Amino acid sequence: MLSEWEKLAREAATKNEAYESYLLRLTEAEVTTRTANAIASRIRAAGFPVVKDLDTFDFSAVASLPKQKVLEMSRGAWVEEHSNCCLIGNAGTGKTHLAIALGLAVCRLGRRVKFVTAAGLVTQLEEAQQQHRLERVLSQLDRVDLLVIDELGYLSFSRSGAELLFQVFADRYERRSVLVTSNLAFSEWGSVFQGDRMTAALLDRLTHRCEIFEMNGESYRFRESMKTKKHKDPKKAN
Ligand code: ADP
Ligand code: MG
């Protein structure tokens, strides 16, 4: 309002605009700026490793992925409903890309999002526990509407680490959303969580209300690098 009022007031004077109308335009400008600032700060707070959006995602590269369903999820109703999402598939198939893009879309709706890797989260929780500030870290996580946990399955956890991660899932169940990406099929999650009982209990909660996308196929990274190689050296590629 401070930066716009003089300009808008001059315009209003030349157009002989009613005071109410001038005031409306001025407050609208303020609200627009505040909304944009809030979204920018939500995106910063989410801690995405890079910014990847849906418009740069090539759906034709992942035949198993239902494009319409993914686009619908970018409208965020699932986060309002506290349901979850799992992206399961081998390396390089765009799971992290899609997880960031969906997280960004949810930020743009004004929601709080946090992006972590599974290993990073477990380390953070273990450190917090050692320093007697676990409650604080858990309550910070609790304020987040969508927790994106990337790369579950590349590293396995200690028993206590797995229990801490389990606690996060259990706390969020039916109250807040989780998006998990993993290179492991659900049947293999026991190897990460140590113990079939905990794995079963976790999967039960996670998948109760959950959109599951299988993203298996050839690595996009690998395919792109092959294309570049062919381009540089057409003889070798044949
Ligand atoms: P994953 O997490 O499944 O291992 P990434 O999301 O990190 O894979 O994808 C690897 C790289 O390939 C990233 O740079 C990503 O942007 C790109 N990529 C993967 N799949 C696609 C796709 N379908 N369309 C566009 N870029 C993609
Ligand atoms: Mg990844």
Q: Where are the domains of the chain?
A: 5-44, 47-223
CA distance 118 to 122: 6
Q: Are 223 and 188 in contact (CB under 8 A)?
A: no
CA atoms within 13 A on the CB side of 192: 23
Candidate of 64, 86, 183, 221 to mutate for ligand 1, largest count of ligand atoms within 8 Å of Cβ: 221
Q: Is 176 helix (H, G, I), strand (E, B) or coil?
A: coil
Distance from Cα 233 to the centre of ligand 2, integer Å:
29
Which residues make beta-bridge pairs with 146? 113, 177
Ligand lying closest to the C-alpha of residue 101: 1
Give yes or no for residue 78 CB within 6 A of ligand 1: no
pLDDT at 86: 98
pLDDT for residue 55: 96
- The pTM score is 0.89
- 87, 186 in Cβ contact below 8 A? no
Q: Smallest Cα–Cα separation from 147: which of 126, 129, 172, 166?
A: 172
Tally of helices (H runs) and strands (E runs) in the chain: 12, 5
Cα 192 to Cα 205: distance, rounded to the nearest angstrom: 17
- Mutation test of ligand 1: which of 52, 97, 151 has the most ligand atoms closer than 8 Å to its C-beta? 97
Q: What is the pLDDT of residue 231?
A: 64
> Is the distance from the beta carbon of residue 220 to the nearest atom of ligand 1 less than 6 Å?
yes
First to last CA, the chain: 64
- Which residue is listed with tokens 């680490």? 161
- The highest-level CATH class for domain 47-223 is alpha beta
Give dist(CA 168, CA 138) in Å, integer: 7
The pLDDT tens digits along the chain (238 residues) read 999 999 999 999 999 999 999 999 999 999 999 999 999 999 999 999 999 999 999 999 998 899 999 999 999 999 999 999 999 999 999 999 999 999 999 999 999 999 999 999 999 999 999 999 999 999 999 999 999 999 999 888 999 999 999 999 999 999 999 999 999 999 999 988 878 888 999 999 999 999 999 998 888 877 777 777 766 655 544 4
